[in-house]
Structure 1
Amino acid sequence: MRSVIIVHPEFDRTWPFAVERLVELMLNDGAVELIRLEAGSARRASEVVRSPETVTRLICLNADITADCIGRFSSLQDTVIESTFQRAEPAPAIIEVLNERNIRWYTQPTEGFWSQSVSEFALGLTICALRRIPQLHHEIITSTQPWDYDVPGGIGRPGARGFQFGDDNRFANGTVAGKRVRIVGAGNIASRYASFVHMLGADAAAWDPFATEPSFHLAGARKEWHLDKLIADAEIFVPMLPLTEKTRGIITAGHIQALPKGTLVVLATRADICDMKVLRERVLADELSLAADVFDIEPLPVDDPLLGRHNVVHTPHHAGRTKDANYRFVEKLYEQFQPLQHL
């Protein structure tokens, strides 16, 4: 058996920690040859591998490979040919050759490789927004005023600022426990997020016209059949669908307008599933608070009015980019591998 991994720098550009994990996994099955191409290389796989006819498993990560190349790997039993950072299949001409020769080929079954990272990050955004953690962190760098909890005149008043109370009562605040968390989505990311807030004691409900019934049970979220009803009593509203032709703008201006005043909106997948114009208007009018890792404009201009606001928590679209997600990317490929036959 002979296993070879070919890596183009373009793959490392997106997944800089993935290959080291893949090598570690594949060493469980025997020796592994790692070939790293130089930047800008257009050399084909069959040109960079010594004696390609003896290779039984080929992992080709962003390296150039053609149907003719496959022909030179005459002992090949299985392969991975990845050309993008998301789910990708080999070119149709290559698939035809692989199928004709009964060569097993693997691709990403889902985008679950980064779902844990994104869902945990979304939970972090939620807690940060409820408790104003980033704003307070920034404020105490330049001022001691946040440490002063006294009310005017030093007389305590119902509902006023009190000892060690730094939340903003105009918006959803305090604990996740007890909050009505309303989630659009029940897929890889949304179901995990729902399970987290459910575990913390939230009243979690989800609407997803694309998900199967078991998704809701696994998430610990009540299935809501109507989006309008989901929105009506939200305290925390979390749209968590991927962006597709069917989901673009699925949260309409009317839906955003119907959100109760003070609702916290959490964006951690794609912003354009929402009518961002109306969402921006309500946030800027202090009617909603926002915790977002994704935006309608990326990168946000430094003079964007959403930046630095008392009711906005913002990060630069990196929720899914962890070393763990890198590892999971290749682990989900490796899990599919079948034992190689000794030739």
Structure 2
Amino acid sequence: MSHPSTPPLPEDLKRDFSQPQAPAVRPIAPLPKEVEAIIIEAPPPSVAPGPGVPARVPHLGHAVLFVSLAALVLVFTQITLLGLSHPVADPHRTANAALHPKLIIASQAITYLVTLGISFFFFPLLWQRSFADGIQWDFATARRNAWKLIPIGLITGFAVQAISSLIPVPKSIPMDDFFRHTSDVWLVTAFGTLVAPLFEEIAFRGFLFPAFAIAYDWLSLPKTPAARERWHNTTGLTTAAIVFSTILSSILFALLHAEQLAHAWVALFVLFCVSLVLSIVRIKTRSVACSTLVHASYNASVFLTLFIATGGYRHLERLAR
């Protein structure tokens, strides 16, 4: 009896079962698009030859440009406000109007805000990075540490007021003119708590502090190829540069307020020490937003004391010496 023959195996299924077979290796399928490796490109190279190494900013040229811009805006603003408020060509009346507290506050507030607005768009073109990154603003750090920064400002402010009550100050200083009328005091309070700290910290701790430190390190750099290469491939600042810049910027910070305090050098030394505190906060946190918050809290403590002492700014005669 014949048996049905086994159909032949297809060629691709024939195997030699007498020899051990290696396990079949399946080809690895390519990863789907959504799980492909992500390649992060380095930031575009700046003037430094090292790829991805950011340039040192703001340097001294940037700081001079920022200060010059503020000076030009201030002159233009004062001339414009004087022309609008006193169109009569009377030199004597114009000179008196220029010293009016409301005009001074308005011109400074407009100058600060316009300068910051122009800088916000202009300097990123030079730096190839955002304005906040260039000046090390870092608002996230300030928000995260606000519970520590605000008390630092308040305590510093109350301590300075206690010390100031013990030091000799001229009986009449130009700053007193801002505290003769309730409306002027409210304007000074808003300006001194919100606008002035923002601008002054960006100017002194955002521009001048790094500018002076960078200039110090550049001038003290050894004239060797290795030193030049290290300079172009790093962005750190030396301790000597940080100390030098902190002292110099704090001197300028105190001198900025010299006219208001009738050049009372003891009072200016106190402001110099306040600037040292603000600089230390900026250095420790690497955030200008942090020093701004401390500065605003410091100013707020001064106005809070004044508010309480004058019954809500209703009895300014109590400020008479």
**Same fold, TM exceeding 0.5?**
no
TM-score range for the pair, normalised by the shorter chain length? under 0.3
Instruction: Considering Cα pairs closer than 8 Å and 6+ residues apart, tell me whether 1 or 2 has the greater RCO.
Output: 2
Structure showing greater radius of gyration is 2
Point out the structure with the larger helix share.
2
TM-score by length of 1: 0.22
